[in-house]
A and B are shown apart, each in its own frame.
Chain A
Amino acid sequence: MQKIQFNSNSYGLNIRSSLGLKAIQVLTLMFSLMLAGCSGFYDVNPYSVVKDADFNKNRDDLNASAMGMYQPLTQEVHKFLLWGDARADMVTTGQSEPDPYINEFVLNSISKQNPYTNYGGLYKTITRCNQQLEKVYKVAELDDKILPRDAAAFYAEALLLRAYSYFILAKSFEEFPIILSDYAEKVTYVSESGDTVYRKAQSLSNAEIRGSFYYMRNREDVLRMIYSDVLTGLGILPINFEWNRNSLPAQERYGRISQPMAATFAAELALWLGNYQAASAFANSPVRNSNHTLGSSGTWINQFTGSYASLHSLFLLGYNYNNSFEGNRLQEFTSPIAKDGGKYYLKPASHVIQNIFSYEGGDIRTVFSYKIINGDTAIWKYIGADNVASMRPAYQSDASWQFYRSADAFIIKALADLMLDDYSTAFNFVNMLRVARGLTALDPTQTDYRNKEFMLDLIFKEKARENAFEGKRWYDLMLWSRLSRQNQLAEAVAAKYGYPKSEEVKARLQNEENWYIPIDPVLW
């Protein structure tokens, strides 16, 4: 710009010397043209950039931001499988020479250098939820089409999704900071002189930002914080709220936070916190909701083969491969077919096939959860297109990732009632699930259903069949240990390995502090 100025000035001077007074007018004109030219030279409002100020003005903007909150999670489901299943007893590696970083999970020797420990995706969701929480009511003031119940729904959605992300962190990681506001805009910390200071993240070094993070030292405190957020969310989320008023496509019905999802989440947290009465009561809501049922064994596989499952699902991450190539890495992780992009990183552990799945006949979960391919077992849930032999096309990895389905509420109800010594209700709920999956109901006269230990074993086995290879097992073993007040996890996981590795793993996992994944976030 300096160059332009110089040229026009010298040109102006030349004119003045030859044309005298008139040149002053010309000079003025030149000067004003030059000024006008500056804003054209530097694009003050580049059209290629969405400015924050132009956004967040109406209901559609809020809805778009809400979609954005879920998006980072859809990219992380292969990690959820590693965190929740590869470490546990039901999954091992399918590769003859295992990938080192996958194998760290399978062997329970996870290093901080392992890139799959990167929990950044969860924090992206948390950040977007925080941003949504901070703006919902500001946007609601700008658009009179956003009714108070709409604003409440958007607010509750962000609160519940943030809570769910923290629940995954709390069950999985050794250490993680609690961030409950939009830190990128405003970092709050206490200065050396004792004052509370608010600064933009930009003005601080990464070390200073990290220094301002707040860590809860007690995991129970984190769970209680999550629980109270969930109760708040549940309280303000309108009943039977429809996100899209005109129609309600399946992906919004199951892919977004809903009242039954929130109640199931609250019930699960209450169970973790030992609040069994509350757990049983919260579970009633999804159990009785007629939009979500246990379904039948015939429709059970739809929740994996179809894009969206009717009735079964409460909360899932869905993908749309056909129109937009959205997909996940589950086919890569579980398929043994190399030409389909399968790396066969993970496969069912052989003792699981023998001990957990039932061979009484008729159980759809035994038929569909795994298959024998090329002479070895493979996880079928994410690659199968039916329960016989048809598979998804190569690279079309768009099986939904299930967070909650109706069966989870039934199992939570059974566990909560069992802990309340309501043995017959617990027994009935287990039987309802069994029948819905094609098994016969257990005979009360032949079943020791008043034996809590026996029933815990029975229910967690049922849960293992229902949620096999869905990234849940490690957390189920944690919950089982909580309910039975003894370490069930160490023994179960150690059974996956041969001697002497089994003894080494068992000894290490006897200490609950070793249940969590180490992470060095500075590496990522």
Chain B
Amino acid sequence: MANENIKPELTNAFDAGIRFSLFNKRLDIDAGYYHRNTSNLITYRNYPIELGIDPQFENSGSMSSQGIEVSLNARLIEKEQLSWSVYANMSTLTNKVNTLANGDIIRSMDNVSGIGRQSETVGSFYGYRIKGVFRSEDEVDLQKADGTPYKSGDYIIDDVNNDGKINELDKQIIGNPLPDLYGGIGTGFRYKRISLDANFSFAYGQDIYNRFNQQMHLMSDYSNQSPDVSTRWRSESQSGTGLSRAAYGDPSSNGVASDLWVENGGYSRLKFLTISYDLPLKNKVAFIKGIRVNVTGENLLTFTSYSGWDPEVVSSSDVLLRGIVLAPLLCRGRLFWVLKFHFKDKNIAYAKDPIQ
């Protein structure tokens, strides 16, 4: 059954900004406010199950993003032999789903769910909040969905509706995959034949759902686990450091998606650092204008509290499943050199990559 009424999404964008230069055009400043309101949001619609049809695309709901964008460009030194410039840009982002005609949209991937819900950030992580571990049988005051009690060593899950039972109704929003603030800072320095360029990028305020880390702490089968599981709950006297008991087949569903595996994804990173040198040439080689040697390092330094390997999470194409790490992807710190011949009428570059 086709939806013949589907229309394109409409985005109304409002931008206001000022641009000015100071100190004899040495400093350019560009600052602005943006507000984007997207209506006719194309979403999947789940029909009542009795209709027996798969979800369908439809236009439903609206979403807004707003924030401030600032960029600076400073030419600190500008001389024939010596120049130095610094540039920076940053943006803030506040995203909110304004309306959703057919209620929440939940999408799951490998047990982790993202939700589109009115008044919340799109793609917020959706799961349970964990308050600790039942240290002993006496502490157990919650029941599983079937009414049987949890066991000591199970996670204490936040009982949202206070009915003493943990089930679907106790799921809540446990994280936000979009940054509040992001941007980059760079600099370019040149002295005679040597130049140095560097660029930092940063993003703060976003969370990462570290599903890989969770799998390394599931303790529900015989697969390899993190060494940390040695500090799991073992008994009343060895109640561990906050990890659940090990139980084959996970009978108490300690492996549900929970805030325990949501991490602060904020980071700053030296994206690249390049040093170049222009080789001095004698005029004998008539057709070559110049030769430049570059050494570039990528992702040399990262400052983050995130425990995984790369805080720049490769997002799923699905807007509801952002910021979820299923498997650890190696962040490639790379170093490579480039030899660049500058011909009188052509540019040919020879690059060798990577060294590391």
Contacts and interface: CB of A to CB of B under 8 A. Distances in A.
On whether the two chains bind one another, the answer is yes
Interface string A113-125: 1100011100111
A97 to B, nearest CB: 3
Given A202-B5, A206-B102, A100 B253 contact: yes
Contact of A205 (B2, B102, B151): B102
A97 B251 CA distance: 6
Given A97-B252, A184-B47, A201-B51, A104 B58 contact: no
Contact of B145 (A96, A113, A127): A113
A378 to B, nearest CB: 16
Contacts of A438: none
Contact of A521 (B48, B147, B252, B253): B48
Given A99-B251, A202-B3, A343-B249, A114 B145 contact: yes
Nearest to A95: B251
Nearest to A344: B249
**Looking at chain B's contact residues, is the secondary structure mostly helix, strand, loop, or mixed?**
loop
Nearest to A99: B251
B52 to A, nearest CB: 3
Given A98-B148, A100-B253, A185-B1, A111 B50 contact: no
B151 A97 contact: yes
Interface residue tally of chain A, by bracket? Answer: 35 or more
Interface in B112-169: 144-148, 151, 167-169
B102 A128 contact: no
A113 B252 CA distance: 16
A241 interface: no
B248 A98 contact: no
A113 B167 contact: yes
A332 to B, nearest CB: 11
Interface string B165-187: 00111000000000000000000
A72 B49 CA distance: 13
B168 A127 contact: no
Contact of B47 (A51, A201, A343): A201
B108 interface: no
A224 interface: no
A82 to B, nearest CB: 13
Contacts of B51: 123, 127, 179, 183-184, 201, 209
A485 B52 CA distance: 37
Contacts of B47: 184, 201, 206, 209
Given A118-B49, A126-B52, A98 B58 contact: no
A107 B143 CA distance: 15
Interface string A340-354: 000100000000000
A521 B5 CA distance: 27
Given A97-B151, A209-B47, A111 B52 contact: no
A523 B251 CA distance: 23
B146 A97 contact: no
B88 interface: no
B101 interface: yes
B11 to A, nearest CB: 14
A34 B56 CA distance: 32
Nearest to B250: A99
A524 interface: yes
A205 B58 CA distance: 12
A120 B49 contact: yes
Contact of B50 (A103, A177, A185): A177
Contacts of A202: 3, 5, 56, 58
Given A206-B102, A523-B168, A100 B148 contact: yes
Contacts of A72: 52
A52 B48 contact: no
B49 A524 contact: yes
Contact of B148 (A103, A343, A521): A103
Interface residue tally of chain B, by bracket? Answer: 20 to 34
B54 to A, nearest CB: 9
B52 A100 contact: no
B22 interface: no
B150 to A, nearest CB: 10
Contacts of B5: 202-203
A404 interface: no
Contacts of A128: 52
A210 interface: yes
Contacts of A179: 50-52
A56 to B, nearest CB: 13
Contacts of A31: none
Contacts of A209: 47-48, 51
Given A185-B1, A521-B50, A101 B148 contact: no
Contacts of A101: 145-146
A209 B49 CA distance: 11
A206 B102 CA distance: 7
Contacts of B291: none
B248 to A, nearest CB: 7
Contacts of A124: 52-53
B146 A120 contact: no
B260 interface: no
Interface string B249-285: 1011100000000000000000000000000000000
A21 interface: no
A128 B247 CA distance: 42
B130 to A, nearest CB: 17
A213 B56 contact: no
Max chain B Cβ within 10 angstroms of own Cβ: one of A100, A127, A202, A213: A100
Nearest to B169: A113
A509 B71 CA distance: 72
B264 to A, nearest CB: 32
B325 to A, nearest CB: 26
Can you list the 7 inter-chain pairs with the closest CB atoms, starting with the nearest?
A127-B52, A97-B251, A120-B49, A100-B144, A100-B146, A123-B52, A124-B52
25 contacts: A95-B251, A97-B249, A97-B251, A98-B146, A100-B146, A100-B253, A107-B146, A111-B145, A111-B146, A111-B167, A120-B49, A127-B52, A179-B50, A183-B51, A201-B47, A201-B53, A202-B5, A206-B46, A206-B48, A206-B103, A209-B47, A209-B48, A210-B48, A213-B50, A338-B221
Given A113-B145, A113-B168, 9 more contacts: A97-B252, A99-B249, A101-B146, A104-B147, A111-B145, A124-B53, A127-B53, A184-B51, A523-B168
Interface of A: 51-52, 72, 95-101, 103-104, 107, 109, 111, 113-114, 118-120, 123-128, 176-177, 179, 183-185, 201-203, 205-206, 209-210, 213, 338, 343, 521-524
Interface of B: 1-3, 5, 46-53, 56, 58, 101-103, 144-148, 151, 167-169, 221, 247-249, 251-253
